[in-house]
Chains A and B, each alone.
Chain A
Amino acid sequence: MAAASASSDMFDEIVMAEERFHGEGYQEGYAEGSHIGAAEGRRYGSLHGARIGSEIGSYLGFALTWQCLLQKSSDEKSSKKIRALDSLIGMIQKFPYEDPTYNKLQEDLEKIRGKFKQVCSMLNIQSDFRIGTERSSLTF
């Protein structure tokens, strides 16, 4: 009896070898893929996060500097600029840096960008430092 089951196991192993190796290979590949994917995702996330942080950080530095520079001014025009700067600083400080799952993250980011552009316009500063060498494209 033992001999019979041993021999059927042995044939079983041989016959099912391909399928078994295929399965094992799949499992290994899946595990490795997940591992690499997670590492890549983490890398991308931190890169992207750093980019956002850098962008908003530059807006904050810019805004605080101008807030300082305009501190002494009391005319109507400057007060409008100061109000806009305060608004920008407020938006940046309210931004939830600790929570990447914040559902209005993209929306708030766009609002900050918009406010920064508006402030630049009021201060007569170019917010975009790209030199205009874009080729004319087909557009309507």
Chain B
Amino acid sequence: GQGLSRGDPMALSPGQGWSCRAVLGEGHQRTVRRVAWSPCGSYLASASFDATTCIWKRHEDDFQCITTLEGHENEVKSVAWAPSGTLLATCSRDKSVWVWEVDEEEEYECVSVLNSHTQDVKHVVWHPNQELLASASYDDTVKLYQEEEDDWVCCATLEGHESTVWSVAFDRSGERLASCSDDKTVRVWRRYKPGNEEGVACSDNEPTWKCVCTLSGYHTRTIYDVAWCHLTGALATACGDDAIRVFEESATGDPRQPTFALAAHDSAGPAVTLHCSASVLSTSVEAEPSRKKRPRVSFSRHMSLMARAVFPVSFLE
């Protein structure tokens, strides 16, 4: 999972537990907002409200800060590694998205500063297999970026949400993207390439993204995070109403207009034991009062064991 573990043992199922292996206390001066493991697993990036991003190198249980990425003017909200492991993205309240490149000598260099958003950028996420970056912002949009002629540019803007977009997630193929928002909806967007058979118009011979599904009416508060399981295709949301919801795509749906339904308990089948295999992490405690406890959801490889049921979860800090 990705998030800041508080170190408390959390019993997932009998016999298993979590133990705190390391505390990285000397890196940041303010809230650590997000952490991300590099694809190879040897590095950890931590994004902080102190406007820096630390890169830690792991030697078993020992972590050493090998570099601090500076440049953002204020709170860094998110950090994400590209699947290639050579690119890193950060975003901040200063409305910009920075793309960094790392070489074999562990030297980090800023390759682009993108000022496309007009407000605080909440989250950045990489495409599962392409060097395509997505960002979510307080300006109600999702933007996509890619490298064009030696420079990174914003190649698409996804408009439709009526309020802050808090998070985005790509599906396994990377042809679809889910976004969640303060407007209490989740939107699913699909990429249409030029010359697509559905006849969707593409300008400048560039792919275009269209919203193909909006999940509304399920959430009663801001949706802070969304995750798309690459194993089963299920969508999970973390909402300010203290519930985690799991949505599954209807098998009979039209790919152009997919429908997602709340995963329901199959009453006809045998009784299923509930395993909370979606790791639910509490937010880090900050000096500033937090308005509401916000859950963050991620999928573990045991997603397939997850019982199909709706279960509200409340947090104890």
Interface check A127, CB cutoff 8 A:
yes
Complex interface: chain A residues within 8 A of B112 (CB): 114, 118
Chain B 29-49 near chain A by CB (<8 Å), digits 1 or 0: 010000000000000000001
Interface check B96, CB cutoff 8 A:
yes
Given known A128-B73, A139-B75, contact A114–B30 (CB-CB < 8 A): no
Decide: A139 and B49 in contact? CB cutoff 8 A. Answer: yes
Complex interface: chain A residues within 8 A of B30 (CB): 136
Interface check A80, CB cutoff 8 A:
yes
The complex places the Cα of A105 from the Cα of B211 at a distance, in Å, of 30
Total A-B pairs, Cβ < 8 A? 51
Interface check B119, CB cutoff 8 A:
no
Complex interface: chain B residues within 8 A of A83 (CB): 150
Nearest to A115 among chain B residues (CB) is B113
Nearest to B286 among chain A residues (CB) is A136
CB distance from A128 to the nearest CB of B (A): 6
Complex interface: chain B residues within 8 A of A110 (CB): 115-116
Interface check B8, CB cutoff 8 A:
no
Complex interface: chain A residues within 8 A of B287 (CB): 136
Decide: A114 and B96 in contact? CB cutoff 8 A. Answer: yes
CB distance from A77 to the nearest CB of B (A): 9
What bracket does the count of chain B residues touching chain A fall in?
A: 20 to 34
Chain B 74-113 near chain A by CB (<8 Å), digits 1 or 0: 1100000000000000000100100000000000011111
Count A interface residues, CB 8 Å. Answer: 23
Complex interface: chain A residues within 8 A of B114 (CB): 114
With most chain B CB atoms within 10 A of its CB, the pick from A110, A122, A126, A138 is: A110
Instruction: Name the contact of A140 in the complex, choosing from B96, B110, B294 (C-beta under 8 A).
Output: B294
Interface check B289, CB cutoff 8 A:
yes
Decide: B110 and A121 in contact? CB cutoff 8 A. Answer: yes
Interface check A111, CB cutoff 8 A:
yes
Interface check A78, CB cutoff 8 A:
no
CB distance from A108 to the nearest CB of B (A): 11
Instruction: Name the contact of B113 in the complex, choosing from A87, A117, A139 (C-beta under 8 A).
Output: A117
The complex places the Cα of A114 from the Cα of B145 at a distance, in Å, of 14
Complex interface: chain A residues within 8 A of B70 (CB): 121, 126
Complex interface: chain B residues within 8 A of A134 (CB): 74
Given known A110-B115, A136-B30, contact A121–B71 (CB-CB < 8 A): yes
Complex interface: chain A residues within 8 A of B289 (CB): 138
Chain B 283-296 near chain A by CB (<8 Å), digits 1 or 0: 00001111100100
Chain A 118-139 near chain B by CB (<8 Å), digits 1 or 0: 1011100011100010101111
The complex places the Cα of A27 from the Cα of B186 at a distance, in Å, of 55
Interface check B317, CB cutoff 8 A:
no
Complex interface: chain A residues within 8 A of B61 (CB): none
The complex places the Cα of A138 from the Cα of B112 at a distance, in Å, of 28
Given contacts A87-B151, A117-B110, A120-B71, 11 further A-B contacts (CB under 8 A): A83-B150, A114-B112, A114-B113, A114-B114, A117-B113, A121-B109, A121-B110, A127-B71, A136-B288, A139-B49, A139-B75
Query: Using a CB–CB distance below 8 Å, which chain A residues touch chain B?
Result: 80, 83, 87, 110-111, 113-115, 117-118, 120-122, 126-128, 132, 134, 136-140
19 contacts between A and B (CB under 8 A): A80-B109, A83-B150, A110-B115, A111-B115, A113-B115, A114-B115, A115-B113, A118-B111, A121-B70, A121-B113, A122-B109, A122-B110, A128-B73, A134-B74, A138-B288, A138-B289, A139-B49, A140-B290, A140-B291
